[in-house]
């Protein structure tokens, strides 16, 4: 029964990987600041950083670089979390919790003898070491929680000199405000903090700030009934997200700190955001650092993301908000949507040569997305659930040598053994959906044979390829954002 449940749940993960998780459910479209778009988890491949795992949670989809005058601060009334299951029961046993605060500096200019507050977030040029002209200071705290059933409190993570409040760099407004892209990079790098995590013997690192959008997909064509050539070249379509930015929450944590008591080197991870149950708008909003909103009541989870885009293409419309509110331990409630997965059938209806696999339940997909592969990224205790799984004992593949189809082409340090920024999860997942694992002809492992997947060897792709060449070779790996204006 557990295998059946795993099989029917898997498609939620596979189908979702066909694009990045932007605006995937009705409720979250109204709350872009807490909309999780991508989650990465991989063994750090920056030189001399063996023994660390990098966790990156992206939020705030489709940021236009020119999105002034207020740009893209995260929500000070929300709770952003990264969860780790190091036991195998689909529950969070280690949680990193971020809370944000935005303070208005109330910079004023003398106009006709009166000090009048300016209307912008900056009053002049800003550079590394000189933020005196910034009118808004974005900060955050980071707590670590251990054990299940937490009440959203924990121990404070500290930075240099014992600080508990960290600064988020202002978005890349433009080159007149910050100078060139390299100038902005220097400005942002000063907010990469070395941190002490309670319960960890070695320090980690944290960075929160705007980055260039890290996902690539032919987004418009995908949602226009796959209005593309799925057998075309892997670089045959433009990346519709190439002109967007994103806000990243990035952590680098000592591997040993993430381990549980199971003795397994495998961990599972996902990110969530939560808001208060009630929000009231003030009739007469105050000025400066008062808020026009008052949030109260218990926390309600409104976004969840592990594997790329479970919710967007699979879960029925009426249950999309429910999925965002759920936890991996409760994923069986969505089995009805994946017992007979619709994406392979849709692909076949649009492209008759791409015959959908005929093996039900799709056991070949179980290992890829819900349980991991034995000997690769499966915990000794297996609970079928949607999350990223990473074997921390597999050495990272250096930048320049990574293969963007990951495990499918022999790079076991890549997707679905975790996920690196340069992994082409769209193409890899499309090929798994259409049955590439069945072509390996090992029914005992995958539950299917080549006859079950007539199109299993088809080189499906959305045509918007991505690889490690477009990312940095150091933490936080995602690159300098696009400036809102150039000088």
pLDDT band at 286 (very low <50, low <70, confident <90, very high): low
pLDDT top residue among 325 and 406: 406
Rounded to an integer, the average pLDDT of 305-313 is: 73
pLDDT band at 373 (very low <50, low <70, confident <90, very high): confident
Instruction: State which H helix or E strand residue 63 sits in.
Output: strand 52-64
Structural domain spans, the chain: 26-103+117-452
Q: Which two tokens stand for residue 233?
A: 């070249």
pTM: 0.92
Rounded to an integer, the average pLDDT of 288-292 is: 67
Classify residue 74 by its DSSP letter. Answer: P
Q: Give the 3-state secondary structure of residue 220.
A: helix
pLDDT top residue among 208 and 286: 208
Kindly write down the DSSP assignment for every residue of 322-359, as one continuous string.
Answer: HHHT--GGGGGGGGGGTSS-HHHHHHHHHSTTSPPP--
Question: Quick check: 326 pLDDT over 60?
Answer: yes
Q: What value does the CA radius of gyration of the chain take, rounded to a whole number of Å?
A: 23
Instruction: State which H helix or E strand residue 115 sits in.
Output: strand 114-117
């Amino acid at each position: 029964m557990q295998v059946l449940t795993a099989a029917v749940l898997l498609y939620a993960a596979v189908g979702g990987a066909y694009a990045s998780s932007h605006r995937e459910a009705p409720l979250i479209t109204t709350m872009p600041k807490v909309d999780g778009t991508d989650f990465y988890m991989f063994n750090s491949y920056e030189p001399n950083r063996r023994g660390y795992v990098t966790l990156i949670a992206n939020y705030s989809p489709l940021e236009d670089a020119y999105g002034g005058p207020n740009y893209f601060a995260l929500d000070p009334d929300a709770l952003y979390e990264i969860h780790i299951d190091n036991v195998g029961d689909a529950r969070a046993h280690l949680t990193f919790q971020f809370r944000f605060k935005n303070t208005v500096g109330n910079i004023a200019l003398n106009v006709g003898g009166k000090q009048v507050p300016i209307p912008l977030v900056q009053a002049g040029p800003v550079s590394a070491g000189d933020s005196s002209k910034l009118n808004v200071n974005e900060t955050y705290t980071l707590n670590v929680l251990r054990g299940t059933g937490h009440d959203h409190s924990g121990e404070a993570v500290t930075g240099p000199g014992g600080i508990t409040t960290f600064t988020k760099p202002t978005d890349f407004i433009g080159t007149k405000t910050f100078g060139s892209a390299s100038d902005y990079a220097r400005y942002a790098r000063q907010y990469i903090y070395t941190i002490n995590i309670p319960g960890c013997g070695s320090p980690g690192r944290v960075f929160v700030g705007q980055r260039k959008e890290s996902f690539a997909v032919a987004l418009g064509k995908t949602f226009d009934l796959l209005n593309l050539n799925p057998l075309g070249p892997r670089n045959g379509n433009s990346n519709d997200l190439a002109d967007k930015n994103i806000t990243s929450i990035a952590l680098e944590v000592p591997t040993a700190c993430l381990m549980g008591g199971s003795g397994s080197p495998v961990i599972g991870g996902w990110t969530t955001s939560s808001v208060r149950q009630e929000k009231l708008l003030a009739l007469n909003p105050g000025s400066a650092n008062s808020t026009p909103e008052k949030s109260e009541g218990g926390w309600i989870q409104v976004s969840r993301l592990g594997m790329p885009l479970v919710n967007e293409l699979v879960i029925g419309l009426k249950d999309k908000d429910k999925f965002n509110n759920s936890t991996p331990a409760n994923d069986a409630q969505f089995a009805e949507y994946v017992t007979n997965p619709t994406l392979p059938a849709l692909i076949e209806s649009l492209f008759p040569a791409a015959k959908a696999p005929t093996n039900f339940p799709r056991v070949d997909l179980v290992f890829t997305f819900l349980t991991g592969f034995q000997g690769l990224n499966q915990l000794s205790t297996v609970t079928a659930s949607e999350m990223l799984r990473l074997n921390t004992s597999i050495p990272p593949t250096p930048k320049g040598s990574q293969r963007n189809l990951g495990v499918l082409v022999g790079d076991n340090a890549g997707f679905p053994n975790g996920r690196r920024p340069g992994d082409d999860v769209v193409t890899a997942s499309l090929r798994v959906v259409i049955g590439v694992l069945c072509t390996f002809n090992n029914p005992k492992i995958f539950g299917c044979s080549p006859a079950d997947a007539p199109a299993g060897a088809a080189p499906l792709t959305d045509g918007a390829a991505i690889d490690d060449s477009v990312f940095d070779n150091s933490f936080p790996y995602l690159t300098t954002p696009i400036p809102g204006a150039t000088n």
